[in-house]
Structure 1
Amino acid sequence: MNHRSFSLALWIAVSAVALAQVGCAYKAGDAVDAGRSTAITVGTENGSIKGLAKGDAEVFLGLPFAAPPMGSLRWAPPERAASWQGVRDGTVAGPSCPQMGGSPVIGRTENEDCLYLNVYRPSGTASGASLPVLVYVHGGANTVGGAVQIDGARMAAENRVVVVAVNHRLGALGFLNHPALAQQAKDRLAGNYALLDIKAALEWVQRNSGAFGGNPNKVTLGGTSSGGTNVCALLVNAGTAGLIHAAIISSDDCLRDVDTVAQSEARAAAFAAKLGCADPVGVATCLRSKSAGELVTAGGAWNPHVDPKGFHRKPAIDAIAAGEWRPVPVLMGSMREEGRGSGVAFANFTAQAYAAWVSRLVGVDRAPALLAAYPADKYAGPYALPYVIGDFITDSGMRGLGGCTNLALARSFARQTPTYYYQFEDPKPPAPSTPPGYEFRASHGLDTPFTWPDSPHMAQSSSRFTEAQWQLSKEMTRYWAAFAKNFNPEVPGQAAWPRLIADGSLMSLRPGGRSQASPVAQFSELHKCALWEKMPWVLDRGER
């Protein structure tokens, strides 16, 4: 199971209720506010597109940034989209890339014609307005999700920025690194197609954002969870020079969820065998003969991979630490209890099983110190062990989400570039109702509705916001937009967000106007980073 599996389950649970309450706007094939909107037309390099007004924003959906990755373009680098005649309908979202579904908002899809993006801008924006551009990559463990998770209309309208949400290939279609496919490729490389898709979207932004009033010289690339993983990879890639001028990384440490060549090829071999494509002579032909539905059903966990001769040549965290990247300003952070939701899977654990789990992760020699710091009886009640395991997962950073490895990454950035660090600290964000009585607190993924409250994926959560939480949501969107505008998140009338310098301060994001700068030392003490700094990185995901 991928370490982000809880966030997927949470997203599915939230989405199910969202559909019942707010409908399925932004799903492929649906128009946006068609009954009360005015058409707007913009000319792109491929042709004209008609969008719609949504409140004080203008929305353009389903823009192709690359050719459909089908036929000979399956498992190949993206190519430029073809031009069209007439005016394209930009009131209908393009399909999300093939995925198993589970979320009723996207559902199962087998349509490989999926390399689309959505553009949001303030109403009345003229071509050449030179507004900053925020390009955002969705989360979903690189196996589910889509641009429809990001509704940028509110952020665009209230903060005068252009927001671009992008699809990319998922699962095996986005990451399959099989040697047989590499042998067929012009560059003799396979895998990392999703990273190439995002790069192609950034290149499209360079060529076309000006027509929508955006500034191609002020592009911030942001992503959450697996979206953050992909941002990390692109940030250190030589081929993205001039495409990224700042970065936002939420709930990722630029370390985990990235395979070696051997790991990715082992995944590919197991996947091919599962599909009955084990014959070395005809494996590529066999794989290409499978429908998207068959590939999706075969499932699997999928990651980018590092290949010294390929697109992603060095682990991002190593490249950043070594200064082998083009430094740009960074805003990054995580949740106070990132791993609390992952603790649900350990609801029937015993203290003995917990001790064995810790020993397996860190070794019998180191386990006593960690069991003393995270005792089985730290909490009381029916979820005592899930809660302490959640703390262990959070603080160790073992699933790449937050805690001490997230802080280590922030410090590495801060030594080289303006860096702004945060921790999301709302103790009661809207969360699933199961298991009964479980206190999720600030678990992984529960911050996303605060940044993008109007997406159908997030609207059920935001519909439960208190007044204090709405205030936090508005503060966060302003901070994010200010960073895209000025490469620092200073907002008049909001708590000053200091640049991270050595062990200075981070921003504690709290509801009700209580956000404030807090000492990094408090974060380090909370997450027991002095202890974890003495330990090797825990790279085992700790799945049961």
Structure 2
Amino acid sequence: MKKHLFASFALSLSLYAAIAQHPQVRIANGLLEGGMEKSGIRSFKGIPFAQPPVGDLRWKEPQPVANWQGVRKADHFGNNPMQKPIFGDMRFRSAGMSEDCLYLNVWTPATSAKEKLPVLVYFYGGGLMAGDGSEGRYDGESMAKKGIVALTVNYRLGVFGFFAHPELTKESPHHSSSNYGYLDQHAALQWVQKNIAAFGGDPKKVTIAGESAGSISVSVQMASPLSRGLIAGAIGESGAAINPTLAPIPLADGEKNGLAFAAAKTTAKSLAELRAIPADKLLEAAAAFTPGSPAMSATIDGYLLPKSLPEIFMAGEQARVPLMAGWNSAEVPYQFVMRADEPTPENYRKAVKQLYGARAEEVMQLYPGNTKEEAIRSATALSSDRFIVYSTWKWADMHSQTGGKPVYRYLFSKLKPSAAPQTPGVFRGAAHASEIEYAMGNLASDPAVKWTEEDRKVSEIMEAYFANFIKTGNPNAAGLPEWPAITKGSKVNFINIDTETKAEAEQDRKRYLFLDQVYMKK
């Protein structure tokens, strides 16, 4: 009898272990079977949130995914979007590259659908030309261990995600074209509203976040009348869709660029023929197309975006949610302005004169360069401001004035261990994208870097800020350096995340106000 009881008990344990290792969740479209991470976090990968955008669905809004019968395996990543290998720091874990790429991934600590945990939806960077939700540095396991249901989301890129054409506008029920990548993100947010409770998430506590093009995407989703009611908070790491950083262009201009591309790089005579071009051939054609204007750009289409982002934010028509936004201390190097010239005071002044003409002296007052060291520091600052800092500043500044919610601004200054040693008297800082692993708790995703205890401490602090914000709309908590919020009329302070993390007062507002005059005229 005891033997039978023991065997029955052992069998029960075995079945329980098997179920635990292969957790199942029923969503609107059917039953999913995921996996279990070593930490005990349940993960569901490669979940389709829209039909494959192929064939006649190329350059159309994402369409609802078809239901399935039985159990769908969700234990591996889906395909990454079509793209060229533009960035050397991207390491995908995807099933491969395909136009069939609209998949998302979920990591959850919840063991039931009743827990109503806060939700993070993360959009990857890559200039709207590259990237994938399978990248290890975006992995959601670490955030899930902090009590958050974390998602990464794929969206169409380049010519597949941001191609405008008069025929596309004509066939669209919304008289819109381009913006398919942003509409993919919107569809994913709709999926979250419908399904996230099954994973233990609260659809009323959804924070969207992203870095670079992902941050730009966050600013767009905040501005869009389609998505602004679907989110409770927003995090932007370096970037907003504001001139000069991938700002949407008028739809008519996008259509002209699309016509020019089709005429120069394809033999297609109709939209049907454009859709019939094999995905790899279309990718190659787009990569070879370099006219004066970008061929693939988001548009102010009257549907996703009725107006430019500055117009929407200054009118207070954006999502009125707490915002955490910031940038890195040296987003790009001084060569962005100096090109191949030596960073001497003479060459620096010449470069500023070429860029700003009659206003060069104003720039030299704001970004002085009287010595080589000062020229390097100022050229780095000017390069970074022109690349992505100004647009991020403008976004945060406008939202603090009209959003009615706190804005928390940061500067990330921690150098990665792999960065070259700092030369005395020469400015070095944290480069573009170097904060991602710290913020998401994923230092281990890059084993090639010799992370130190100092790096792990900075990561713990930064991830804690992010997690607290996702949970409460406020990054502060006991044991962390106090991070002051910016509200309308308040003094602008920010947190400087570095080996010694501390709050600081804004010193560079005059620079941004000058650039405001330059970029808001265009």
How would you bin the TM-score normalised by the shorter chain? 0.7 to 0.9
Q: 1:151 aligns with which of 109, 134, 139?
A: 139
**Do residues 490 (structure 1) and 476 (structure 2) align?**
yes
Matches within 5 A, 1:76-475: 76-102=60-86, 103=88, 105-106=91-92, 110-122=97-109, 124-149=110-135, 150-157=138-145, 159-255=146-242, 256-261=245-250, 262-277=252-267, 282-297=269-284, 298-299=286-287, 302-307=296-301, 309-340=302-333, 343=336, 346-349=339-342, 354-362=348-356, 364-380=357-373, 387-394=377-384, 397-399=385-387, 401-403=388-390, 405-415=391-401, 416-431=403-418, 441-454=429-442, 458-460=445-447, 463-475=449-461
1:507 aligned partner: 495
Partner-residue secondary structure (3-state), 1:180 = helix
Deviation at 1:375, TM superposition (A): 4.4
Question: For the residues of structure 1 that align with 2:117 and 2:341, how far apart are their CA atoms?
Answer: 52
Question: For the residues of structure 2 that align with 1:221 and 1:421, how far apart are their CA atoms?
Answer: 15
Q: 1:533 aligns with which of 505, 513, 519?
A: 513
Deviation at 1:212, TM superposition (A): 0.3
CA contact (8 A) 1:174 1:193 kept: yes
1:362-404 per-residue CA deviation (whole Å, 9 max, x = no partner) reads 2x21112323543455434xxx86654221123xx322x225x
CA contact (8 A) 1:333 1:422 kept: yes
Deviation at 1:311, TM superposition (A): 1.9
CA contact (8 A) 1:68 1:112 kept: yes
Partner-residue secondary structure (3-state), 1:249 = strand
Partner-residue secondary structure (3-state), 2:126 = coil
Distance change in 2, residues 1:377/1:532 (3 Å): same
Question: For the residues of structure 1 that align with 2:372 and 2:246, how far apart are their CA atoms?
Answer: 30
Question: For the residues of structure 2 that align with 1:495 and 1:436, how far apart are their CA atoms?
Answer: 29
Deviation at 1:303, TM superposition (A): 3.1
Question: For the residues of structure 1 that align with 2:412 and 2:91, how far apart are their CA atoms?
Answer: 28
Deviation at 1:245, TM superposition (A): 1.2
1:67-90 per-residue CA deviation (whole Å, 9 max, x = no partner) reads 100111100000111122222221
2:49 aligned partner: 65
Percent identity, aligned pairs only, is: 28
2:503 aligned partner: 517
Question: For the residues of structure 2 that align with 1:425 and 1:232, how far apart are their CA atoms?
Answer: 19
CA contact (8 A) 2:116 2:201 kept: yes
Deviation at 1:269, TM superposition (A): 2.7
CA contact (8 A) 1:425 1:442 kept: yes
Deviation at 1:181, TM superposition (A): 2.0
Distance change in 2, residues 1:338/1:64 (3 Å): same
Aligned length: 482
Instruction: Indicate the larger mover: 469-478 or 179-188.
Output: 179-188
Amino acid at match of 2:453: E
Amino acid at match of 1:79: Q
Amino acid at match of 1:45: A
Partner-residue secondary structure (3-state), 1:242 = helix
Question: For the residues of structure 2 that align with 1:114 and 1:250, how far apart are their CA atoms?
Answer: 24
Question: For the residues of structure 2 that align with 1:460 and 1:368, how far apart are their CA atoms?
Answer: 46
Deviation at 1:475, TM superposition (A): 1.4
CA contact (8 A) 2:77 2:93 kept: no
Question: For the residues of structure 1 that align with 2:40 and 2:447, how far apart are their CA atoms?
Answer: 22
1:296-337 per-residue CA deviation (whole Å, 9 max, x = no partner) reads 112265432213x33211112221111122311111111122
Deviation at 1:534, TM superposition (A): 3.8
Question: For the residues of structure 2 that align with 1:212 and 1:99, how far apart are their CA atoms?
Answer: 31
Deviation at 1:174, TM superposition (A): 0.3
Give the root-mean-square deviation of aligned CA atoms: 3.0
Deviation at 1:121, TM superposition (A): 0.9
Partner-residue secondary structure (3-state), 2:214 = helix
Distance change in 2, residues 1:460/1:341 (3 Å): farther
Partner-residue secondary structure (3-state), 2:76 = coil
Q: Tell which structure's C-alpha radius of gyration is larger.
A: 2
Distance change in 2, residues 1:67/1:105 (3 Å): same
1:424-443 per-residue CA deviation (whole Å, 9 max, x = no partner) reads 34342245669999975212
CA contact (8 A) 1:424 1:447 kept: no
Deviation at 1:41, TM superposition (A): 1.1
Amino acid at match of 1:164: L
Deviation at 1:56, TM superposition (A): 3.2
Partner-residue secondary structure (3-state), 1:398 = helix
Question: For the residues of structure 2 that align with 1:330 and 1:532, how far apart are their CA atoms?
Answer: 19
CA contact (8 A) 1:99 1:296 kept: yes
Amino acid at match of 2:198: A
Distance change in 2, residues 1:418/1:358 (3 Å): same
Instruction: Indicate the larger mover: 214-223 or 433-442.
Output: 433-442
CA contact (8 A) 2:223 2:317 kept: yes
Question: For the residues of structure 1 that align with 2:443 and 2:53, how far apart are their CA atoms?
Answer: 26
CA contact (8 A) 1:332 1:421 kept: yes
Partner-residue secondary structure (3-state), 1:366 = helix
Instruction: Indicate the larger mover: 309-318 or 530-539.
Output: 530-539
1:23 aligned partner: none
Question: For the residues of structure 2 that align with 1:85 and 1:434, how far apart are their CA atoms?
Answer: 57
Instruction: Indicate the larger mover: 37-46 or 348-357.
Output: 348-357
Question: For the residues of structure 2 that align with 1:507 and 1:45, how far apart are their CA atoms?
Answer: 42
Q: Which has the higher contact order (CA 8 A, sep 6+)?
A: 1
Partner-residue secondary structure (3-state), 1:468 = helix
Partner-residue secondary structure (3-state), 1:147 = coil
2:7 aligned partner: none
Deviation at 1:125, TM superposition (A): 2.5
